[in-house]
Structure 1
Amino acid sequence: MSERKMAHETATILQEEYYFLSSVKKVEGMFQEKGTIPAKGTFSYVKGTMDYQAETPTGYVQKVNFTLHLHTGDETAIGRGFFDTRTKRLSKWIELK
């Protein structure tokens, strides 16, 4: 029983990490293509949705908050990406609890 629970938790964590990585790459691609990050948006995935909201750039840093809602119902994960406005790439990542 405990092995099954641990396997489920591991699968959920890996799913969250994959959705965060995919979303960061999509935002980074939009930033490089258009030169700006849209103020907010949503990415839909098979097992959840990722909302993002970009803050006003400060100096050479633009913060983007990501909120993942898995379709299982009670699972929500929050992360924050810091993008360098000169290179248009992610420079720092923090997962919030």
Structure 2
Amino acid sequence: MSMNEYGFTYPLTLGIFLLLSLMLTLNAEHFLAEQRLLKETESILEQEYYLMSAVKKVENSLQSDMPIEPAGTYFFRDGQVAYKIEPLAGSVLQVTFILTMKSGIETTSYGYYDSSLKKMTKWIEKN
């Protein structure tokens, strides 16, 4: 068996090395793509949690029939949610939620609270 670049062993070893390098590169790219997706999903879930927590707090305050501030802010670990309550029509109140994350992401959402039903009846998110 020849052991030089014109023989059998060198090209075979080079081919196997290139194939393994290609597989390693593809696996590394797949891993990095999954990590980016994980971080993005985590951020979206955190934003949804903060908005839902603020909605529940405002809804509970409105249901208790105690006076509530027409505007306020709820602070969380990685962001804050500001809300503003405005009468819309009849017994419907429009509650505007503005989520501001420490990373700079800002999301605006609108909730419609029906005073006669004592619950949020509609929810709209705008990015």
- Could you say whether these structures have the same fold, taking a TM-score greater than 0.5 normalized by the shorter chain as the test? yes
Of 79, 83, 95, 1:52 maps to: 83
> Which structure has greater helix proportion?
2
Q: Hey, what's the Cα distance between the residues in 1 that align with 2:69 and 2:61?
A: 8
When normalised by structure 1's length, the TM-score is 0.91
Q: Which has the higher contact order (CA 8 A, sep 6+)?
A: 1
Q: Which moved more, 1:36-45 or 1:22-31?
A: 36-45
CA RMSD of aligned residues (A): 1.3
Identity %: 34
1:8 equivalent in structure 2 = 39
Any runs of at least 4 consecutive aligned residues in structure 1 with deviations exceeding 2 A, and if so which? 34-38
> Which structure has greater strand proportion?
1
Q: Could you tell me whether the CA contact under 8 Å between 1:37 and 1:54 is conserved in 2?
A: no
Runs of 5+ consecutive residues of structure 2 not aligned to the other structure:
1-31
1:80 equivalent in structure 2 = 110
2:97 equivalent in structure 1 = 66
2:99 aligned counterpart, secondary structure? strand
Runs of 5+ consecutive residues of structure 1 not aligned to the other structure:
none
1:26 equivalent in structure 2 = 57
